[in-house]
Amino acid sequence: MPKTETYPRLLADIGGTNARFGLEVAPRQIECVEVLPCEDFESLSDAVRFYLSKCKESLKLHPIYGSFAVATPIMGDFVQMTNNHWTFSIETTRQCLTLKKLLVINDFVAQAYAISAMQENDLAQIGGIKCEINAPKAILGPGTGLGVSTLIQNSDGSLKVLPGEGGHVSFAPFDDLEILVWQYARSKFNHVSAERFLSGSGLVLIYEALSKRKGLEKVAKLSKAELTPQIISERALNGDYPICRLTLDTFCSMLGTLAADVALTLGARGGVYLCGGIIPRFIDYFKTSPFRARFETKGRMGAFLASIPVHVVMKKTPGLDGAGIALENYLLHDKI
């Protein structure tokens, strides 16, 4: 089938909180981007139909190909979202939306594909030297949850993406302060994963743990209604609440620990890439935060890590971009 007959293509990037939709009308050209709260819709199909109804004026042809990136493992036809209430059958959804093909991939597989096509101005580099072209790239990112994947570019230029659930590895505290935070989390959860701290809700959890620390009893604190990731970040940056700044510093330090662990595990000389919507909100602070120092604090492997660049993805819709690239690969090669 000629490529022109496969457009427009229906793309989605579905996280725990929001679902982003777009129409790819030509290669790498995505229009009619909408962000919908998942909690506003009973099902994925309902959200898609609502989205298509909003775009009907600009929709000359009904999409027959779709690619959805979802924040959960893909282990067959039945998909259950990790951090929201949606469940769906891929085949039933395809039929419901009258699509010829519906590709469903992990959201960090999509992030990896997006990174393969990014330009220098899509990224903010945090330390390190230069990426090795054919070495593994580590992709991770805090959002509603914590995603992890690996991108490998072969010598012939082809790409291989390895999905993973590295956000659910057990978190190891680095110092006494993080032990205190870990102990607080352990009192609430049987398994204290990295995602418990390195996510939007993780910022709140770190704040709650630090607020109980001896010596901080009289420090100005947020009200219960103010305990949101956005407000904690804002108060940390404006300097009015030292406990919020300590929370953000701790978050960045913990992220440095995990990013280094992932880089060492994968031998990620191709670089580490931080995705998600949290870090770009405070990128100027992040550049001077404890993140990079912690990333390199790995004893005998400090020099190895010091050479690895870390990039923050600043592009607005990488999940949609990656979903589109994955679909293109599938249509050309019958695989992603």
In the chain, what are the domain boundaries?
3-112+317-333, 120-314
- Whole-prediction pTM: 0.92
Give the SS3 label for residue 76. coil
Asked if the bond preceding 8 is cis, omega within 30° of 0, the reply is yes
Choices 3.40.640.10, 3.90.1150.10, 3.30.420.40, 3.40.50.150: CATH for 3-112+317-333 = 3.30.420.40
**Distance (Å, rounded) from C-alpha 72 to C-alpha 50?**
23
**The domain 120-314: what is its CATH number?**
3.40.367.20
pLDDT score at 1: 45
Going along the chain, which residue ranges are E strands?
A: 9-14, 18-26, 29-37, 65-70, 78-80, 87-89, 101-106, 123-126, 137-142, 146-153, 159-164, 272-274, 310-313
- Which residues belong to the annotated binding site for ATP? 12-17
Phi, psi (degrees; rounded to nearest 5) at 72: -170, 160
CA pair distance 226, 13, nearest whole angstrom: 28
Query: Are 15 and 107 a contacting pair, CB within 8 Å?
Result: yes
Q: What pLDDT does 128 receive?
A: 96
Res 4: pLDDT: 57
| pLDDT over 80 at 58, yes or no | no
156-209: pLDDT as tens digits: 888 899 999 999 999 999 999 999 999 999 999 999 999 999 999 999 999 999
9 beta partners:
24, 65
Residues making up the annotated binding site are: 12-17
User: Which of 272, 245, 250, 276 is CA-nearest to residue 261?
Assistant: 272
Chain segment 75-110, per-residue pLDDT in tens: 999 999 988 999 999 999 999 999 999 999 999 999
